[in-house]
Chain A
């Protein structure tokens, strides 16, 4: 079996290569730099492109260039760098270019720190750049998923001609786990109908996001929105653990879902009927399953490394049918299992913190 013990950040690059990604453009930033290190090693060795760009902005616009050629391409950064990529992401979404952007989220706002956080949830799932667009956003919680969801992100990006984002955190990036090395995907995609790749066959095409006429731009926006509706309807991914009979459904993604997972059996041993619902796609958000769980759950608890961002989507899905609680740590502080168990007791027992 082709396995290797590797960091989540390295697994992203393995997944990208196996998905047929041919060009990596990046800029150094902790804690995402290992992705660039691995890309610098592997992309040129495979006859692909690696450029350490002059800025995050340039890196993202290089992605725009290669994506516009119909070639799979990516960049990776961490929160402050991801903020700088918003311009290019908006252009790529507007021009309908498939690409993958990784954000190894760290503490903010501003320079913040390099410790794990999930404070970029709004930026990733609600837009971030200007205009009406969405990022397809996947949140792996281990090294194998860093690889597999990166591959899936390339597939989704291509399928919908839209940027896709891998939203991870410093722990998932730095942690090493056993990764099953995937088979390279067959090359099934062909973008010659719209891409511009410097060959006569595509010379009549245009890669652009400018549409001057208001009616035409409105139509373009509606077309994008229809696409986003398709994604909402077909691409939601989540994982359930012990939720079907749970009184308390804990909603958590990324590394937090691992911590919650560790506590579920402990909580149940204490007689607390707790379950975990883990969004794997944070956009589209698994709203429908949360809505359906309102029939059985007594309450919901969103746990995040933030001051409360995803909890808003949980509330939107619950629509006031059941209480929605929030527990968050941020700034790089990661909640311990004991802390979470105390929170479950409080919520289910109606006690105070």
Chain B
């Protein structure tokens, strides 16, 4: 089909098109796509939007939309045009983005993208050409194929109880709150065509005004797929299709929405801004001179969930980091999790750390009985095993290991809350291993604990744990 009075929205010559006829479209005679293309091209040109327009071609007969539109063009995967369009619009809110799709693309393989793009109210235009058939792939049943309609995959005609019913996308999407404007039009008689033109222009204007998402469904003929001549095709469209796909406006909030109310913020990359932001993520512990580590620590902390086991590991990690040592912290994860217990592995080392998983700890903290049973045998000979005796009844092998028996929860109760038993244990660990000086650890705790009101209590708990071990010697 030749496109007479070619719109300035089209390329003057269709250079991207394969084959010799560079002035005609690839569409069949009587196909609706040509009309719809022309309406879009004209509107973009007349509104002066071509320079910032991006046309997203789908998979289907309009896969080659980029042959024609004299603007930026994307070709998208089958059904994904709305996802691509979403990203383009979000990454440049000033662009004018058109997702142009057929029925298979929009209402079958891309249903999820269609619905969620509408539901997010993306400030784009979706133009949906509904011709009740898969044209490009050879006339198969589309989600919009009519009951009784023959196609290459419904040779006996579409049967409700076998193939389901033609799906009405405009009506479905109109149930969503976010879309601004939803209308179904047709490329039928001249009155219909005028209405279609109006709808397309309105949708584009809504986008340009930043008022949100528009969806225009265009019922359109596919003489080739329908195996009809163009005249009969148009008759069938008017008489049969429009009964199932009634024309009309299903939603229109374009008057009540503020201009630019659906524009999203986007700032281009500015390294200075990012640097300033990342600087805020850095540790607030402050820099300290490196503090020597008496001996590499390979710790396992284990107990019930809620005893602050993971936090205990983090606090020791922070001390190690502030001291300038290599540190790793790894929480029980996946199959290691068992029976409501929590555990974590912490390495604090003077040199590069190998495995973050502590298989053979030289320090084990157990705050419940199952942890003692599970992990005692893993501790290296001569390793430290710290036991909260308020909770754990069992006692470890004191010939092989160096037990530290401390009623941590009871001490924590005296401090004010049983929850702080983990910090009592931390004090005991520092005293028992001599890993870092007491004052250095306390300074780190002061810096690490975010809630000012809790600092004194934590320092008290740490000190009591520390003293308990020192005095027991």
Interface residues of A (CB under 8 A from B): 1-5, 14, 17-18, 20, 22-23, 25, 31, 42, 45-49, 51, 53-55, 57-59, 61-66, 68-69, 71-73, 87-88, 91, 95, 113-116, 142, 170-171, 174-178, 181-187, 196-200, 202-203, 205-210, 212-213, 255, 258-259, 261-263, 332-334, 336-338
Contact = CB atoms under 8 A, between A and B. Distances in A.
Given A69-B91, A174-B333, A213 B76 contact: no
Interface stretch (B82-90, B172-180, B400-408, B450-458): B82-90
A35 to B, nearest CB: 15
B77 interface: yes
A249 B401 CA distance: 36
B254 to A, nearest CB: 22
B273 to A, nearest CB: 7
Given A2-B279, A49-B266, A181-B282, A258 B355 contact: yes
- Most chain B beta-carbon contacts within 10 A, residue among A55, A185, A196: A196
A197 B72 contact: yes
Given A142-B328, A198-B72, A203-B71, 17 more contacts: A18-B278, A22-B268, A48-B266, A49-B90, A65-B83, A69-B91, A69-B92, A73-B87, A116-B333, A116-B334, A178-B326, A184-B271, A197-B91, A203-B72, A206-B66, A258-B356, A337-B355
Contact of A64 (B76, B274, B281, B360): B76
B95 interface: yes
Nearest to B356: A175
Interface in B80-122: 80, 83-88, 90-92, 94-97, 112-113, 115-116, 120
B355 A259 contact: yes
Given A48-B266, A198-B54, A206 B75 contact: yes
B10 interface: no
Interface in B308-360: 314, 317-318, 321, 326-331, 333-335, 352-357, 359-360
Nearest to A10: B281
Contact of A174 (B52, B116, B330): B330
Contacts of B80: 57-58, 61, 64, 88
Interface in B352-387: 352-357, 359-360
B222 interface: no
A87 B94 CA distance: 29
Interface residues of B, number: 76
B334 A115 contact: yes
Contacts of B120: 51
A175 B83 contact: no
Given A54-B113, A88-B77, A333-B335, A61 B83 contact: yes
A48 to B, nearest CB: 7
A71 B335 CA distance: 40
A332 B328 CA distance: 20
A206 B73 contact: yes
B265 interface: yes
A263 to B, nearest CB: 8
A175 B313 CA distance: 12
B4 interface: no
A61 B113 contact: yes
Given A47-B266, A65-B86, A184-B271, A198 B75 contact: no
A62 B86 contact: yes
A20 B273 CA distance: 11
A45 B277 contact: yes
Contact of A61 (B73, B76, B278, B326): B76
Contacts of B74: 65, 68, 196, 206-208
A208 B75 contact: yes
Contact of B84 (A47, A62, A210, A338): A62
B338 to A, nearest CB: 13
A20 B274 contact: yes
A176 B330 CA distance: 6
Contacts of B267: 46-48
B70 interface: yes
Interface of B: 16, 18, 50-54, 57, 63, 66, 70-77, 80, 83-88, 90-92, 94-97, 112-113, 115-116, 120, 264-269, 271-275, 277-279, 281-283, 287, 314, 317-318, 321, 326-331, 333-335, 352-357, 359-360
Contacts of A208: 57, 66, 73-75
Taking each of B50, B265, B330, which has the highest tally of chain A beta carbons within 10 Å of its own beta carbon? B330
Given A14-B278, A115-B334, A262-B355, A177 B90 contact: no
Q: Which 4 A-B pairs have the closest CB atoms?
A: A198-B95, A65-B87, A47-B267, A262-B354
B95 A197 contact: yes
Q: Which one of A58, A91, A95, A261 has the highest number of Cβ atoms from chain B below 10 Å of its Cβ?
A: A58
A199 B321 CA distance: 48
Contacts of B328: 142, 175-177
Contact of B116 (A22, A54, A142): A54
Nearest to B11: A204
Contacts of A14: 278, 281
A277 to B, nearest CB: 15
A197 B92 contact: yes
A57 to B, nearest CB: 7
B266 A3 contact: no
A187 B268 CA distance: 10
A212 to B, nearest CB: 6
Contacts of B277: 17, 42, 45-46
Contacts of A4: 281-283
8 contacts: A4-B283, A5-B327, A22-B269, A176-B330, A177-B356, A198-B96, A202-B72, A206-B16
Given A171-B330, A207-B74, A20 B279 contact: no
A1 to B, nearest CB: 6
Given A2-B282, A61-B80, A23 B331 contact: no
A192 B157 CA distance: 50
Contacts of B85: 65
Contacts of A333: 335
B357 A334 contact: yes
